[in-house]
């Protein structure tokens, strides 16, 4: 992609990964996006996907840690600082934390 690799451009990187998966892994059932400092227990993940969900795959799936009523960081020294001009509300709407996200592949097309 043609953008600066920075913390504020993570959405672009995420979108490019989706595009790459669509073109290079068309038959994949799930996509797991994790940060490089996140541990994944692969055996438990496999058990969850094949036994808790379904051995045939699941559609319309997004698994993440939800943040609800999360306050906007207004401290200038914070990595997550957001100005009132960028986002005027005191809290964010409910959103998925970005450290680990699990999608069924059909979600990539939505």
Q: Delimit the domains of the chain by residue range.
A: 7-64+97-109
Structure tokens at 49: 């996907």
DSSP state of 73: P
Please give the backbone phi and psi of residue 54, each rounded to the nearest 5 degrees, phi first.
-170, 140
Report, as an integer, the average pLDDT of 32-52: 94
Three-state secondary-structure class, residue 35: coil
Q: Calculate the average pLDDT of the chain.
A: 92
Distance CA 10, CA 91 (A): 20
Give the residue-averaged pLDDT of 9-22: 91
Residues forming a β-bridge with 66: 96
pLDDT digits (tens, 9 = 90+) for 43-79: 999 999 988 888 777 889 999 999 999 999 999 999 8
Residue 91 φ then ψ, to 5° = -130, 150
What pLDDT score does 69 carry?
A: 97
């Amino acid at each position: 992609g043609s953008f600066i690799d920075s913390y504020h451009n993570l959405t672009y990187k995420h979108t490019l990964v989706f595009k790459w998966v669509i073109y290079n892994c068309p038959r994949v059932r799930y996509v797991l996006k994790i940060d490089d400092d996140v541990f994944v227990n692969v055996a438990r993940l496999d058990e969850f996907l094949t036994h808790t969900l379904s051995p045939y795959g699941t559609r319309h799936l997004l698994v993440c840690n939800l943040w609800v009523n999360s306050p906007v960081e207004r401290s200038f020294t914070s990595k997550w600082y957001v100005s009132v001009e960028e986002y005027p509300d005191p809290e964010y709407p409910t959103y998925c934390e970005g450290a680990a996200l699990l999608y069924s592949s059909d979600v990539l097309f939505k």
